Amino acid sequence: MLIYGLMKFVEQAPFHYEKFMNIISLGRYGRSLEKLIEQVSVGDSVLDVGCGSGKVALGCAKKGAQVVALDSSIQMLDILRSRAKKQSLSSNIKIVNAGSASMDKVLNGEKFDVIIASLMLGELIDDLRFRTLMQMRDHLKDKGFILINDELWPDVKIKAFFYNLLFCISFIPNFLFTRTVIRPVKNLPDDLAKLNLKIDEKKNMGGGIVFLKVSKRP
Ligand SMILES: C[S@@+](CC[C@H](N)C(=O)[O-])C[C@H]1O[C@@H](n2cnc3c(N)ncnc32)[C@H](O)[C@@H]1O
């Protein structure tokens, strides 16, 4: 949770965001992004929701995927645009500046083989997160999958108690630095079930980050 606060803080320095994130997570951040990129194959259509400065979007494009990279932050997208240009990947990446709950308005009904949400769901309030997940499902091809990389609220009671305590302690510094209320993603398995989505793979990436591979129920 403290990492979440720091994460939101370093987002204010978008150019150094990935470097800072790797330092504060002791390299786990980079490894968790590699795990996402590994799942993508040549020719896949990929939607990266809350793509940030684009490490995952660029990695997928490098593998030969066609990527739509969506984020609400113009600064993050400017960095992605210049990186894509430098790496000659501009033709493989379409950049979209929009909020995750407006995907139905900006994606013209396009469907994807792979939809990725890395470290962005935790930044959304419950209602917005649910609507984002719903739109991710609606833009997923029937045989496609969703990849989620995030810090989840623990389901074990004693761990949840510890997280609540940490939330109370970190609430004021987090709010002062970031002006938002940040906490790990709550009720994700329930929300996915409500949306008729199932978890096919779950892996703890360390430091509280969890990798989930999700698909539509038949
Ligand atoms: C912590 S960064 C993660 C960036 C990238 N996915 C990664 O794993 O490095 C969260 C990103 O989500 C974006 N974001 C937050 N809320 C959003 C929303 N409602 N719609 C679209 N993007 C959003 C932020 O602008 C930021 O770039």
Ligand 1 pocket test, pick from 12, 72, 125, 211 with the greatest ligand atom count within 8 Å of Cβ, gives 72
Tokens of 167: 């939330």
Q: How far is the CA of 76 from the centre of ligand 1 (A)?
A: 9
* Residue type present at position 117: A
Architecture of domain 2-216: 3-Layer(aba) Sandwich (3.40)
Mean pLDDT of 104-127: 95
Asked whether 50 lines ligand 1 (CB < 6 A), one says yes
Asked whether 36 lines ligand 1 (CB < 6 A), one says no
Q: Decide if pLDDT at 1 tops 60.
A: no
22-64 residue pLDDT tens: 777 778 888 999 999 999 999 999 999 999 999 999 999 999 9
Q: How far is the CA of 50 from the centre of ligand 1 (A)?
A: 4
Asked whether 99 lines ligand 1 (CB < 6 A), one says yes
175-203 residue pLDDT tens: 665 555 567 898 999 999 999 999 999 99
- CA of 149, closest atom in ligand 1: 8
The count of other CB atoms within 10 Å of the CB of residue 79 is 17
Asked whether 209 lines ligand 1 (CB < 6 A), one says no
Q: Decide if pLDDT at 12 tops 80.
A: no
Domain extent listing, the chain: 2-216
Q: How far is the CA of 64 from the centre of ligand 1 (A)?
A: 23
128-169 residue pLDDT tens: 999 999 999 999 999 999 999 998 887 777 777 777 777 776
